[in-house]
Each structure stands twice: as structure tokens, then as C-alpha cells.
Amino acid sequence: MSKAVVVFSGGQDSTTCLIQALSQFDEVHGITFDYGQRHREEIEIAKQLASHFKLASHKVMDVTLLNELAISALTRDSIPVSNDLMDNGLPNTFVPGRNILFLTLAGIYAYQLGADVIITGVCETDFSGYPDCRNEFIQSMQTALMKGMDQQLEIRTPLMWLNKAETWALADKYHSLELVRHQTLTCYNGLIGDGCGTCPACLLRKNGLEEYLANPEAIQAQLAEKCHN
């Protein structure tokens, strides 16, 4: 029996990965992290979607210790979300160590479940300036987890080389564009669906959707070519 663990935030990217995984694996397990994030409504969205999709299991983990260490606009309500980069060249929504922690815990969960695949929705093509979304980092984490647990484990990143329009195309391929559009939460300000429309996450999502809806056939062809390769 094939099993996968999906790192699941309830946002557009992880929900699209989850929908795809349901067609590829016998058992799909979700893991969601509560790190005291600014847009914590996403946790409730993740619970609702996990129930909707009847996941084999859905674990919500309290990792609020991350909030104590990682100062970011996503962990401090007092820091407004900005479209400008900080002095170190990173967005102020970057949470240092977040994906290191998440993938480590997902790896432990996969070990306990007997799953040999972890799926995460990180993406380098629509790179938001987060170093822990790069393919190089993912490959390094995969190697570390396999060596540290002496077990075969693959970290799959279905969106790594897709742009946002192609991510919408992937949701549409699985007949889930409307669900992803209206029932997921990507907005840094915690608004479901189309969100606030002004934060960096909303702008990326909105521009990608408009691009896809303007020319769905061509973008589906681009997606098919990338998936084939």
C-alpha cells in the first residue's frame, strides 16, 4: 500500500498538492503546523479540507516554540506585512527555520506511518525570496532525513518548477479549481478565497489566476510539457 504525508497548510499550493496526491497514493496523511502564525485561520481551513477529502489521518502539531525564536511579519502582529525586502534581502514574511522544522517533523511522522514519501508545495519558480523553498534545500533535507533515520524517504515538490498560472492549471486538471479558489486560505492577512488582494501572497495568487483564465488551453499545454519532462 502506497502512503504519503502531505505538509498541509490549507493554502492554494498545499491543497493542490493534496488533491493530486489523493489520485496517486492509496493512503494520504496530512500534517498541519500551528506555529502561532498571523494567518492562523488557515489551521481551521486545513481541518475542514482534511475532513472534506477524508484523509487517512490529519495531525495538527503545536510548534509554537518556533514563534518564540523566529521573528517575522507572520509571527508578530506588530510587524506589518510589507512588499519591500529587509536589509538582508529577504521578505519580512520569511520565517527562519520553518521548513527545516516542518520537514523534519513530517519525516518523523512518515517514519511512524511507514510512508516513504513527503509532499510539500514549495516552489522555486515563483520564488518569494524564501531560501527554504529552493530545490537545493529540499534535496539537502531529503538526504539528511534518510541518513538520520536510515530509511528511504523521498520529498516530492510537485510545484517546484511551476509558475502560479500552471499551479492553477494543475488544480483545474483535477477538477478542483473552484474549490481551491474559494475554500483555501493563502492571504497573509487571514482572509479566505481571493483574500485581501494586496499582500504579496494574494497578488501572486491573483495574477496567476488571471493569467490562467485568460488562456487555459495554452497553460494546460505548458503544464503537460513540464510534467512530462
Q: Given this model, what pLDDT does residue 151 score?
A: 93
Between 187 and 88, the more confident residue is: 187
Tell whether residue 14 is among the known ligand binding residues: yes
Q: Given this model, what pLDDT does residue 80 score?
A: 53
Tell whether residue 64 is among the known ligand binding residues: no
Q: Given this model, what pLDDT does residue 182 score?
A: 97
Tell whether residue 187 is among the known ligand binding residues: yes
**pLDDT per residue as tens digits for the range 73-116:** 554 455 555 555 555 555 555 667 788 889 999 999 999 999 99
Between 132 and 151, the more confident residue is: 151
> pTM (2 decimals)?
0.89
Tell whether residue 202 is among the known ligand binding residues: yes
Tell whether residue 13 is among the known ligand binding residues: yes
Tell whether residue 8 is among the known ligand binding residues: yes
Nearest to 171 by CA among 17, 6, 47: 17
pLDDT at 156 over 90: yes
**pLDDT per residue as tens digits for the range 6-17:** 999 999 999 999
**pLDDT per residue as tens digits for the range 115-127:** 999 999 999 875 5
Please, what's the b/e burial string for 128-154 (b: 16 or more CB within 10 A of its CB; e: otherwise)?
A: eebebbbeebbeebbeebbeeeeeebe
Give the DSSP letter string of 68-129.
HH--STTT-TTS---SSB-TTSSBTT--TTHHHHHHHHHHHHHHHHT--EEE----STT--S
Tell whether residue 12 is among the known ligand binding residues: yes
Nearby residues of 116 by Cβ (< 8 Å), 6 or more positions away? 3, 110, 151, 152, 153, 154
Tell whether residue 125 is among the known ligand binding residues: no
Tell whether residue 11 is among the known ligand binding residues: yes
